[in-house]
Structure 1
Amino acid sequence: MKSESLDPSPTETQVERYRTLAADHAAGVGVVCARYRGKDHAITVTAFTDVSYDPPTMLVCLYDMGRMCEAVESTRTWTLSLLNADQRSVANWLASPGNPVDGLLDTVPFHRTERSGTPVIDGCLSWFELDTVSTHTAATHLVVVGRVTAMGRGDDAGRADRPLIHFAREYRGLV
């Protein structure tokens, strides 16, 4: 097995090699939403996980320079909708850099949570409303840890066995 060392300040070639190797990890696809300054903010994420069942706690990683990071840090309440295999277009749209804030969710069906009014993507497998309990800077990202305050199954619970997966830099469904 060949070992590849990384420079303290990795070259573009090393960063690209890292991205290729890290893409061997299959991850679920979700959407983080927050309501900030009267506007809905949303972004596709693949770096999230449950942290604890007692109390229910999750974390998500957000690009530190993005407006989504500012929205989540400022409001401290956000949602995570776990997408199903039929929601690839939603994932693509909300992953596109430079999307306008105005009208961002105009073509994405969603509803709002009862407590905070934060968007939840319709048709998702499941969703969680969270309050931020801590944040941690890690390289170019902010790790946001949140306590679950509400949760639910998506509109079509029959799709729970069809998650949208990100693997090898592509969205896929389970076969």
Structure 2
Amino acid sequence: MPVPPEQLRQVMRRWASTVTVVTMRADDQIHGLTATAFTSVSMNPPLVLVCIQNDSRSEALLRRGRCFAVNFLTEDQAALSERFAGRIPIADRFEGLACRMAVTGAPILEDALAYLDCTVAGAYWGGDHTIYLGLVEDAGILRDGSPLLYFQGHYRRLAPGNGGGLL
């Protein structure tokens, strides 16, 4: 028998992860969401995956547009994460942000730490999420810095000078 969702949630809160903003474009619409359900899959071919909640605007746009960018946030971008998590009411999440369109057409956040620009190589059932496999078409480091982390329901940063421990 599978574990109850709340038990799994409590265990997964003990896993620190890099905070990303996944952006997408379909037709003339752009959209983005904060995501920690992201991982590298393969270097050859270059593949990553993101997990997007079913029945969400993000999932519908990604299914139509077939491209996405993963923008890695820096330790000073918690407010940007909140904006794309929908916790800050704003009609246009991209308003006032420096962006450019990637090779695929997905928005790149120019102040992010780094990005991966992907076309959808596959979509798979994952319970209440869809697992999107992305072929990395372009990638870049936009600035130096440390990543924003999420651990036990809070934003964290790497501790300076101790080999990268959590603060």
After TM superposition, the score normalised by the length of structure 2 is 0.87
Q: Which residue identity is paired with 2:9?
A: R
Do residues 141 (structure 1) and 129 (structure 2) align?
Answer: yes
Instruction: Work out the number of aligned pairs and report it.
Output: 159
Do residues 70 (structure 1) and 54 (structure 2) align?
Answer: no
In the TM superposition, what are the counterparts of 1:151-170 in structure 2 within 5 Å?
Answer: 151-154=139-142, 156=143, 158-159=144-145, 162-170=146-154
Do residues 116 (structure 1) and 100 (structure 2) align?
Answer: no
In the TM superposition, what are the counterparts of 1:65-104 in structure 2 within 5 Å?
Answer: 65-96=55-86, 102-104=91-93
How much identity, in percent, do the aligned residues show? Answer: 25
Q: Residues 39 and 98 (structure 1 numbering): CA distance in 2 closer, same or farther, change over 3 Å?
A: farther
Do residues 33 (structure 1) and 17 (structure 2) align?
Answer: no
Q: Residues 98 and 83 (structure 1 numbering): CA distance in 2 closer, same or farther, change over 3 Å?
A: closer
Unaligned runs of 5+ in 2: 160-167
Query: Considering only CA atoms, is the larger Rg found in Structure 1 or Structure 2?
Result: 1
Greater helix share, structure number: 1
Report the counterpart of residue 19 of structure 1 in structure 2. 9
The superposition leaves residues 116-143 of structure 1 with CA deviations (integer Å, 9 ceiling, x where unpaired) of 3321112212101101111111110000
CA distance in 1, matches of 2:8, 2:139: 35
Q: State the 4+ residue runs in structure 1 displaced beyond 6 angstroms.
A: none
Q: Which residue identity is paired with 2:150?
A: H
After TM superposition, the score normalised by the length of structure 1 is 0.84
- Say which SS state the counterpart of residue 86 (structure 1) adopts: coil
- Give the CA deviation at 1:110: 2.0
The superposition leaves residues 17-62 of structure 1 with CA deviations (integer Å, 9 ceiling, x where unpaired) of 3211110001111111111231210000001111000011100000
CA distance in 2, matches of 1:99, 1:39: 18
The superposition leaves residues 78-108 of structure 1 with CA deviations (integer Å, 9 ceiling, x where unpaired) of 11111110111011111126966x5221033
**8 Å contact 1:90–1:108 — kept in the other structure?**
no
Q: Residues 66 and 97 (structure 1 numbering): CA distance in 2 closer, same or farther, change over 3 Å?
A: farther
- Say which SS state the counterpart of residue 134 (structure 1) adopts: strand
Q: Which residue identity is paired with 1:27?
A: S
**8 Å contact 2:46–2:136 — kept in the other structure?**
yes
Do residues 150 (structure 1) and 138 (structure 2) align?
Answer: yes
C-alpha RMSD over aligned residues: 1.9
